[in-house]
Amino acid sequence: MPTFRQEVETTIPALRRFARALTRDAETADDLVQDTLVRALRSEHLFHGGDLRTWMYTILANLNRNRLRSLARRPVLVPIDENDAAALGGSDNGGRDIERGLATLVDEQRDALLLVALEGLSYREVAEIQGVPIGTVMSRLARARHQLKTFLEGGRPALRRVK
């Protein structure tokens, strides 16, 4: 019977993959995973069985949400280099298009899409992680897929009508 720490250790590669997809930065992702592991190990007494992987994803998603809120309060200034325009015309445009398309999604939609498509989680597991009903997860996924498809086809996402 594996111990709690051994089970946590087996989730690290999946956590890193998800964190890198969320943050799009290896160093930030590693920091996020480390914070997730510290929080999980300190809160071992709060885990009362169930799916450990889902619990770990929930911790990571909440920490990322807190990180984004903190970043929103203080803008980041990035200098523009002369080589930036040349980098946009590189051979990996397909991956960059997907990355830019994911960046256009609302956080909840992007998280749901990444958890299902990248991590292979079930809708029920994503619903537990995000704390919403399964129907909401399905709706978020449908909207995310539609918006991403529209973006990749070069179209503009349609605006919703509000009555």
10-residue mean pLDDT series, the chain (163 residues): 87 94 92 95 89 93 90 68 53 66 88 90 92 94 91 70 61
Look up the domain containing 28 and give its range: 1-75
Q: At what angle do helices 52-73 and 123-130 cross, to 10 degrees?
A: 50
Residue type (1 letter), 112: A
* Residue 82: inside a domain: no
Domain co-membership, 6 together with 71: yes
Among residues 75, 102, 133, the one where a domain terminates is 75
Domain co-membership, 1 together with 70: yes
Cα–Cα distances (Å) from 117 to 28, 30, 85, 122, 160, in that order, read 22, 21, 31, 10, 25
pLDDT at res. 76: 57
Distance, CA of 5 to CA of 40 (rounded, Å): 9
